Amino acid sequence: MPNWEPIEGDLATPLGFRGAAVAAGIKKTHAALDLALIFSDAPETAAAAVFTTNRVVAAPVLVSRQNLIESRGRCRAIVVNSGNANACTGRDGLRVAQETARAAGKLLEIEPSKVLVASTGVIGVPLRAELILRKLPRLKRELSAENAAAAARAIMTTDTVPKTCVIRSEAKGKAVHIAGIAKGAGMIHPHMATMLSFLATDAAIGPRMLQSLLSAAVEDSFNRLTVDGDTSTNDTVVTLASGLSEISVVPGNASRAWFLEGITLVCQTLARMIARDGEGASKLVTVEVLGARTPLEADRAARSIANSPLVKTALAGADPNWGRIICAVGYSGARFDPNKVDILVNDLYLCRKGVDAGFDEAAAHRELDRKELVIRVDLHAGGASARVWTCDFTRDYVTINAAYRT
Amino acid sequence: MPNWEPIEGDLATPLGFRGAAVAAGIKKTHAALDLALIFSDAPETAAAAVFTTNRVVAAPVLVSRQNLIESRGRCRAIVVNSGNANACTGRDGLRVAQETARAAGKLLEIEPSKVLVASTGVIGVPLRAELILRKLPRLKRELSAENAAAAARAIMTTDTVPKTCVIRSEAKGKAVHIAGIAKGAGMIHPHMATMLSFLATDAAIGPRMLQSLLSAAVEDSFNRLTVDGDTSTNDTVVTLASGLSEISVVPGNASRAWFLEGITLVCQTLARMIARDGEGASKLVTVEVLGARTPLEADRAARSIANSPLVKTALAGADPNWGRIICAVGYSGARFDPNKVDILVNDLYLCRKGVDAGFDEAAAHRELDRKELVIRVDLHAGGASARVWTCDFTRDYVTINAAYRT
Contact A351, A262 (CB under 8 A): no
The domain spanning residue B320 has which CATH number? 3.10.20.340
- The shortest C-alpha distance from B119 to chain A (Å) reads 14
Nearest Cα residue in chain B from A339: B90
Q: What is the Cα–Cα distance from A280 to A313, expressed in whole angstroms?
A: 12
- Per the CB < 8 A criterion, the answer to whether A317 and A310 are in contact is no
Q: Are residues A239 and A289 in the same domain?
A: no
Nearest to B402 among A317, A323, A351 (CB): A317
Smallest CA–CA distance, residue A248 to chain B, in Å, is: 38
Percent of chain A with pLDDT over 70: 94
Q: Are residues A90 and B354 in contact, defined by beta-carbon separation less than 8 angstroms? A: yes
Q: Per residue in A38-48, pLDDT tens?
A: 999 999 999 99
What's the gap in Å between the CA of B143 and the closest CA on chain A? Answer: 34
Same domain, B351 and B226: no
The two most distant CA atoms of chain B are separated, in Å, by: 69
Please compute, for residue A301, the number of CA atoms within 13 A of its CA located in the half-sphere on the CB side: 34
Nearest to B303 by CA among B292, A185, B265: B292
Q: Are A267 and A220 in contact (CB under 8 A)?
A: yes
**In this structure, what are the phi and psi dihedrals at residue B27, rounded to the nearest 5 degrees?**
-70, 150
Closest-CA distance of chain A to residue B402, Å: 4
User: Do the beta carbons of residue B257 and residue B169 sit within 8 Å?
Assistant: no
Q: Kindly indicate the confidence band of residue A217, based on its pLDDT and cuts at 50, 70 and 90.
A: very high
User: Could you give the CA distance from residue B399 to residue B406 in angstroms, rounded to a whole number?
Assistant: 13
Q: Chain A partners of B126 at a C-beta cutoff of 8 Å?
A: 356
Distance CA A35, CA A15 (A): 23
SS (H, E, C) chain B: CCCCEECCCCCCCCCCEEEEEECCCCCCCCCCCCEEEEEECCCCCEEEEEECCCCCCCHHHHHHHHHHHHCCCCCCEEEEEECECCCCCHHHHHHHHHHHHHHHHHHHCCCHHHEEEEEECCCCCCCCHHHHHCCHHHHHHHCECHHHHHHHHHCCCCCCCCEEEEEEEEECCEEEEEEEEEECECECCCCCCCCEEEEEECCECCHHHHHHHHHHHHHCCHHHEECCCCCCCCCEEEEEECCCCCCECCCCCHHHHHHHHHHHHHHHHHHHHHHHCCCCCCCEEEEEEEEECCHHHHHHHHHHHHHCHHHHHHHHCCCCCHHHHHHHHHCCCCCCCHHHCEEEECCEEEEECCEECCCCHHHHHHHHCCCEEEEEEECCCCCEEEEEEEECCCHHHHHHHHCCCC
Q: Which of A178, A160, A161 is nearest to A169 (CA)?
A: A178
Q: Which of A8-22, A84-98, A221-235 has the least mean pLDDT?
A: A221-235
Q: Which residues, other chains included, contact B37 with Cβ-Cβ below 8 Å and sequence gap of 6+?
A: B19, B20, B21, B77, B78, B79, B104, B136, B139, B140, B143, B151
Asked about B239 being catalytic, the answer comes back as: no
Least confident of A79-93, A381-395, B133-147: A381-395
The confidence score (pLDDT) of residue B155 equals 95
- B88 and A406 in contact by Cβ < 8 A? no
Q: What CA–CA distance (Å, rounded) separates A192 from A184?
A: 9
Tell me whether residues B401 and A122 touch, CB distance under 8 A. Answer: no
- Mean pLDDT across chain B: 91
Per CB-CB distance under 8 Å, the chain A contacts of B405 are 314, 319-321, 323
Closest-CA residue of B relative to A338 is B56
Residue of chain B with shortest Cα separation from A364:
B406
CB-based contact B397 A324, cutoff 8 Å? no
Interface contact B331-A55, CB threshold 8 A: yes
Asked if B229's CB is within 8 angstroms of A309's CB, the reply is yes
pLDDT of residue A402: 65
Note the pLDDT of residue A186.
Answer: 55
Gap between the Cα atoms of B196 and B228, Å rounded: 16
Of B89, B309, B331, the CB nearest to A309: B309
Residue count (chain B):
406
Minimal C-alpha gap between A70 and chain B (Å):
24
- The C-alpha atoms of residue B215 and residue B208 are separated, in whole angstroms, by 11
Shortest CA distance from A123: residue in chain B: B323
Asked whether the CA dihedral B294, B298, B303, B308 is positive or negative, the reply is positive
* Residue B165 C-alpha, separation from nearest chain A C-alpha, in angstroms: 28
How far A240 CA sits from the closest chain B CA (Å)?
28
- pLDDT at residue A185, as a whole number: 61
For range A43-55, the mean pLDDT: 94
What percentage of chain B carries pLDDT values higher than 70? 94
**Closest residue to B399, CB basis, from A123, A395, A397:** A395
pLDDT in tens, B8-26: 999 999 999 999 999 999 9
Average pLDDT over residues A393-398: 73
Percent of chain A whose pLDDT exceeds 90: 76
pLDDT for A237: 96
Distance CA B400, CA B389 (A): 21
Asked if B230 lies within 8 A of A401 by C-beta distance, the reply is: no
Domain boundary among A246, A276, A306: A276
This prediction has a pTM of 0.84
Total CB pairs under 8 A between chain A and B? 224
Compute the average pLDDT of residues B323-331.
Answer: 91
Confidence of residue B251 (pLDDT cuts 50, 70, 90): confident
- Asked if A398 lies within 8 A of B398 by C-beta distance, the reply is yes
Question: Which string of DSSP letters, residue by residue, matches A233-275?
Answer: S--EEEEEE--TT--B--TTSHHHHHHHHHHHHHHHHHHHHHH
Q: Does pLDDT of B352 surpass 80?
A: yes
DSSP string over A32-46: ---EEEEEE--TT-E
pLDDT of the residue at A227 = 56
Residues for chain A: how many in total?
Answer: 406
The pLDDT-based confidence of A28 (bands split at 50, 70, 90) is: confident
Same domain membership, residue B336 and residue B270: no
pLDDT at B397: 65
Calculate mean pLDDT across residues A378-401.
85
Instruction: Collect all residues of chain B within an 8 Å Cβ-Cβ radius of residue A158.
Output: none
A43-52, A134-143, A239-248, A271-280 — which is least confidently predicted?
A271-280
Q: Which domain holds residue B329?
A: 284-402
Contacts of B109 (CB under 8 A, 6+ apart): none
Looking at the fold, whether B245 and B292 belong to one and the same domain comes out as no
DSSP code of A194?
T
Instruction: Identify from B53, B119, B300, B327 which residue to disrupt to test chain A contact, counting A C-beta atoms within 10 A and taking the largest count.
Output: B327
In chain B, residues with a C-beta closer than 8 Å to the C-beta of A338 are 55-57, 88
Contacts of B56 in chain A (CB under 8 A): 326-327, 329-330, 338
Mean pLDDT of A103-110: 98
Task: Specify whether A212 is located in the same domain as A254.
Answer: yes
Q: Which of B276, B296, B326 represents a domain boundary (last residue)?
A: B276
pLDDT at B201: 98
**A191 has a pLDDT exceeding 80:** no
Confidence of residue B229 (pLDDT cuts 50, 70, 90): low
Q: State how far Cα B280 lies from the chain centre.
A: 18
Alpha carbons B341 and B327: distance in angstroms, whole number: 11
Closest by CA position to A184, among listed A157, A165, A166, A164: A157
Q: Domain check: are B139 and B232 in the same one?
A: yes
Does pLDDT of B193 surpass 50?
A: no
* Contact assignment for A90 to B354 by CB distance below 8 Å: yes
- Nearest Cα of chain B lies from the Cα of A266 at a distance, in angstroms, of 27
Same domain as A156, residue A271: yes
Question: Which chain B residues have a beta carbon less than 8 Å from that of A330?
Answer: 54-57, 231, 233
CB contact under 8 A, B321 and A404: yes
Q: Is the pLDDT of residue B189 over 70?
A: no
Which is catalytic among the residues B13, B89, B194, B236?
B194
CB contact under 8 A, A401 and B334: no
Q: Which residue has the higher pLDDT, A323 or A165?
A: A165
Q: Determine the straight-line distance between the first and last CA of chain A, rounded to whole angstroms.
A: 52
DSSP strands (E only) in A247-381: 284-292, 342-345, 348-352, 355-356, 372-378
Q: How many domains is chain B built from?
A: 2
* Lowest-confidence pick of A33-47, A188-202, B299-313, B346-360: A188-202
Test A232 with B327 for CB contact under 8 angstroms.
yes
Q: For all residues of chain A together, what is the average pLDDT? A: 91
What's the confidence (pLDDT) of residue A216?
96
- pLDDT tens string A136-161: 999 999 999 999 999 999 999 888 89
Give the percent of chain B with pLDDT over 90.
Answer: 76
Q: Which residue has the higher pLDDT, B244 or A317?
A: B244
List the CATH number of the domain containing A262: 3.60.70.12
**Are A266 and A294 contained in the same domain?**
no
Residue contact A53–B331, C-beta within 8 A:
yes
The DSSP H or E segment spanning A78 is strand A77-82
Contacts of A187 in chain B (CB under 8 A): 310
* CB contact (8 A) between residue B355 and residue A232: no
d(CA A232, CA B329): 10
pLDDT value at B221 more than 80: yes
Consecutive H or E run containing A105 = helix A90-108
A310/B401 touch (CB, cutoff 8 Å), yes or no: yes
Cross-chain CB nearest to B313 (options A126, A338, A402) = A402
Beta-strand relationship, B372-378 and B284-292: parallel
pLDDT at A394 over 80: no
Q: Is 60 exceeded by the pLDDT of residue B191? A: no
Whole-number pLDDT of residue A228: 53
State residue B145's pLDDT score. Answer: 97
pLDDT digits (tens, 9 = 90+) for B355-382: 999 999 999 999 999 999 999 999 999 9
Residue of A nearest to B331 (CA): A54
Co-location of B269 and B288 in the same domain: no
pLDDT at residue A86 above 90?
yes
Q: Which of B276, B293, B327 is the last residue of a domain?
A: B276
pLDDT tens digits for range A351-377? 999 999 999 999 999 999 999 999 999
Bridge-based pairing of strands A115-120 and A77-82 is: parallel
Q: Do A269 and A140 fall within a single domain?
A: yes
Q: CA-based angle B58:B61:B67, to the nearest 5?
A: 145
Q: Is residue B136 domain-shared with residue B27, that is, in the same domain?
A: yes
Cβ atoms of residues B162 and B275 within 8 Å: no
**Spatial contact of B111 and B69, defined as CB atoms under 8 Å apart:** no
Residues B238 and B118 in one domain: yes
Per-residue pLDDT of A155-177, as tens digits, reads 998 888 999 999 999 999 999 99
Residue of A223, A398, A399, A400 to mutate when probing chain B, most B C-beta within 10 A: A398
